[in-house]
Amino acid sequence: MKVVAFNGSPREKGNTYFALKMVGEELEKEGIELEIVHVGNKAIRGCVGCNGCAKNRDEKCVMGDENFVNEWIQKIKEADGVLLGSPVHFASLGATMKAFLDRAFYVASVNGGLFRHKVGASVVAVRRSGGVPTFDQLNNYLNYSEMLMPSTNYWSVIHGLRPGDVEQDEEGKQIMRVLGKNMAWLLKMVDYTKDTIIPPEKENKKYTHFIR
């Protein structure tokens, strides 16, 4: 089994990276491979709502300026689980990570739910405040994609300023450790039951609004 983790920090090995590694160490103890993909140092345009991916249904974003976006979509499709990691940028989720997630999850949704029933979790590294709003933003992508979300013993937010400072946040380290254990357990449960328990059928999405 494999989990692909997306690091939304501009720093390749900042505190977000360390948080992802803490979760990954528990996964690797259970024989689950972890690959960390660095998103935050890329220039990624946001989704423009052109609906090209819905028309083509080829599992690709038509904005071909960043081929790595489509490569990452396929990484998620092929993986058993996904970890989304981000620092707090001023108010909440960084623009580069959000641009990637908007495009990737839009493509997935209009191509039959590519990420449906995969195991997904989010982690946030923060100096002081803004961790919970960012955590909530990340979880929204997982939740509305019908992904399976493991829990831990508090919000998955860890604190530190300089790279490596999170190693001193004992509560944060425990949160990441418990998340990793629960994620490994859920991944194994899904794998163990895939041939014996039939998942619920996918329902076609209904859209409503309240303008009369």
pLDDT band at 65 (very low <50, low <70, confident <90, very high): low
Q: CA-to-CA distance for 119 and 4, rounded, in angstroms?
A: 11
Contact (CB, 8 A) for 123 and 158: yes
pLDDT band at 90 (very low <50, low <70, confident <90, very high): confident
pLDDT in tens, 110-144: 999 999 999 999 999 999 999 999 999 999 999 99
Query: For 137-198, what is the HEC assignment?
Result: HHHHHHHCCCCECCCCCCCCEEECCCCCHHHHCHHHHHHHHHHHHHHHHHHHHHHHHCCCCC
In this predicted structure, what is the pLDDT of residue 1? 96
In this predicted structure, what is the pLDDT of residue 104? 97
pLDDT in tens, 147-182: 999 999 999 999 999 999 999 999 999 999 999 999
